Amino acid sequence: MDEVTGAQLIAEALKTQNVEFMFGVVGVPIIEVAMAAQAAGVKYVGMRNEQAACYAASAVGYLTGRPAVCLVVSGPGLIHALGGMANANMNCWPVLVIGGSSDRNQETTGAFQEFPQVEACRLYSKFSARPSSLSAIPSVIEKAVRSSIYGRPGACYVDIPGDMVNARVERNRVREVSCCPPPPVSLAEVSAVTQALNVLKTAKCPLLIIGKGAAYGRAEAGLRELVELSGLPFLPTPMGKGVLPDNHPQCVAAARSRALLQADVVVLLGARLNWMLHFGFPPRFSPNVKVIQVDLCPEEMGNNVRPVAALLGDIRAIVTQLLEILRADQWRYPSDTAWWSTLREKMASNAKISKTLAAQSAVPMNYYTVFHHMARLLPTDCVIVSEGANTMDIGRTMIHNYLPRHRLDAGTFGTMGVGLGFAIAAAMLERDKQTPQRVVCVEGDSAFGFSGMEVETMCRYKLPVIIIVINNNGIYSGLDSDTWREMERAGDMTTLAPPVTLLPDARYEEVMTAFGGGGFLVRTPEELRSALQESLNNTHTPSLINVLIEPSSDRKQQEFPWLTRSNL
Ligand code: ADP
Ligand code: MG
């Protein structure tokens, strides 16, 4: 009699659904699931915390369009993963969380790590279910994988009671389920496309905004043609960076505030009018701005600003529709308009300010100097992972992306602690390629702390990630070590130390050397350049470069304060 265990059924179902990676932290009751997954040819990556495991799995989903699994134990294991599920769902990234849970026969006694897991996951997912029997496992997993990538992508949860893992069933009693095909693709309504182009052609100050939906939807080739054929200025959102290269002559990222404020027609290409785009409201946008939306989620249409045209469907397909008409019409936005002049003028003056800040020779360095030197050494094809407040905001403007899906950051949910998990995911995908690209993880010192122990994971799998910790001794800003010591002498730090502070001059690079990776402590541009060059030359082990910067270093003067009421 041919029997299979629950663990084997899960593993085989994942393999059938083309799931390539499983990230997790094992324990009772799911060790056998990880082992069965390996036996079935799914790569298992053991992480140090479920949150980071879930971040990693979701990044694979974003980068490949097929979900990876995050495997967790019951109770606390699952609860730790909720952060990753929420982040994935907010970002519209597919991920499949599989959680072990307590045995089904302990309703009255109470069980080890008992928790209402299916219910808890509902808030953070599109689909959350427990198979009713072993034979239901393949179809529940197929449904979870399918739900995670069809429609607006997101997180899905499958609950596996401990007693199902090693239970057996005859194979011929299990219904086979084949691999779910990629999501069906739909075009936008023809009348909406015509309406969009009519409005666009009359615009004086048009602007294309390219979001991470365009990156996820792999619309880069069509979008490049659209941009170049139409002559329109474009602005990437943080993770829309690289869909077209940041140094493209029509990229107006360096004049972001002005472009948003003065645009009269905005085309949203896989981007939402949420807080990241200031809701599309004044004073950041013109009160009369006309919005053309391209999105695959109907509920997204009309959020905050009612669009003049709602192009519902797959972005890559819709870009093709737009291109067909543009080609036939031979329409092109002129390059000598007042709009282009104002954008170019603003870009030039902003570039000058950054350049002045970057050229400052003081040590400790400021953010601009650090990023200036980094940007000159980093290969153009590297994957940039970035998080931290100033580190991410300033880094975004100074470190260019040249390829799509090569930037991963705190995203829609503004989550700190995602960096190392994302970097591990990206490095795992690169490892399997013929010419792997480097993964560079640019972290604030606070952001690094959330998942710092994942350095051990990087060392264990010999992933040549370069972590650069921009260390300003705190969250937003910190104290220098003299002031810190004076404060310690004056009294109790729990009442005296500003809540934003962290230990001054902390030796984060030693976390890396503890596990056999390369560690560098740098203070000057020369030290930074040589540490980065050495790390780039080392393609076998990870490195951590701890850059001690001026603890009070800040962003240059901003026209609009960040997220203040007057902003909303
Ligand atoms: P950003 O942070 O770059 O502004 P968001 O995550 O806010 O991006 O928005 C991305 C949007 O893209 C979401 O509304 C999502 O529904 C949409 N989207 C995702 N994939 C596709 C696709 N293939 N075609 C069209 N829209 C997509
Ligand atoms: Mg900091």
Question: Looking at the structure, do residues 513 and 389 belong to the same domain, yes or no?
Answer: yes
Say what angle helices 190-201 and 315-329 make with each other, to 10 degrees: 60
Pocket test for ligand 1, best of 212, 218, 241 (most atoms within 8 A of CB): 212
Tell me which of 25-39, 68-82, 96-110, 157-171 is least confident. 96-110
Question: Looking at the structure, do residues 168 and 194 belong to the same domain, yes or no?
Answer: no
Summarised one tens digit per residue, pLDDT across range 221-250 is 999 999 999 999 999 999 999 999 999 999
Last residue of a domain, one of 296, 313, 344: 344
| Rounded mean pLDDT, 51-73 | 98
Question: Looking at the structure, do residues 258 and 168 belong to the same domain, yes or no?
Answer: no
Confidence (pLDDT) at 567: 37
Q: How many residues does the chain have?
A: 568
CATH label of the domain that carries residue 316: 3.40.50.1220
d(CA 166, CA 348): 65
Question: Looking at the structure, do residues 141 and 48 belong to the same domain, yes or no?
Answer: yes
What is the sign of the dihedral through the CA atoms of 21, 24, 27 and 29? negative
> Looking at 34-138, which runs of residues are DSSP E strands?
43-46, 69-72, 95-101, 127-129
Nearest ligand 1 atom to alpha carbon 218: 23
| Rounded mean pLDDT, 313-342 | 97
Give 267 Cα–ligand 1 centroid separation in angstroms: 13
d(CA 155, CA 133): 23
CATH label of the domain that carries residue 385: 3.40.50.970
Give 473 Cα–ligand 2 centroid separation in angstroms: 6
Question: Looking at the structure, do residues 415 and 439 belong to the same domain, yes or no?
Answer: yes
d(CA 568, CA 562): 10
Q: Which two tokens stand for residue 225?
A: 């043609």
* Ligand 1 near 203 CB (within 6 A): no
Question: Looking at the structure, do residues 282 and 134 belong to the same domain, yes or no?
Answer: no
**Per the domain annotation, does 181 fall within a domain?**
no
Query: Percent of the chain at pLDDT above 70?
Result: 99
d(CA 405, CA 61): 11
Question: Looking at the structure, do residues 389 and 364 belong to the same domain, yes or no?
Answer: yes
Question: Looking at the structure, do residues 203 and 287 belong to the same domain, yes or no?
Answer: yes
Nearest ligand 1 atom to alpha carbon 297: 16
How many domains in the chain?
Answer: 3
Nearest ligand 1 atom to alpha carbon 274: 7
Question: Looking at the structure, do residues 282 and 221 belong to the same domain, yes or no?
Answer: yes
User: 185, 188, 182, 127: which is closest to 149 by C-alpha?
Assistant: 182
Last residue of a domain, one of 144, 173, 202: 173
| Rounded mean pLDDT, 187-208 | 98
Give 481 Cα–ligand 2 centroid separation in angstroms: 14
- Helix (H) / strand (E) containing 545: strand 543-548
**Per the domain annotation, does 105 fall within a domain?**
yes
* Ligand 1 near 297 CB (within 6 A): yes
**Per the domain annotation, does 245 fall within a domain?**
yes
**Per the domain annotation, does 568 fall within a domain?**
no
Give 543 Cα–ligand 2 centroid separation in angstroms: 19
Outline where 123-211 has alpha helix (H): 137-149, 162-165, 190-201
Question: Looking at the structure, do residues 205 and 150 belong to the same domain, yes or no?
Answer: no
Confidence (pLDDT) at 566: 42
- End-to-end, the C-alpha distance of the chain in Å comes to 66
Confidence (pLDDT) at 562: 54
- Helix (H) / strand (E) containing 118: helix 117-122
**Per the domain annotation, does 354 fall within a domain?**
no
| Rounded mean pLDDT, 96-114 | 89
* Ligand 1 near 295 CB (within 6 A): yes
Question: Looking at the structure, do residues 47 and 78 belong to the same domain, yes or no?
Answer: yes
Residue 565 has pLDDT above 80, yes or no: no
* Ligand 1 near 296 CB (within 6 A): yes
Find the domain containing 251 and state its range: 190-344
**Per the domain annotation, does 355 fall within a domain?**
no
Question: Looking at the structure, do residues 237 and 110 belong to the same domain, yes or no?
Answer: no
| Rounded mean pLDDT, 138-159 | 98
Give 383 Cα–ligand 2 centroid separation in angstroms: 22
Q: Which ipTM did the prediction report? A: 0.96
**Per the domain annotation, does 384 fall within a domain?**
yes
**Per the domain annotation, does 28 fall within a domain?**
yes
Last residue of a domain, one of 148, 173, 198: 173
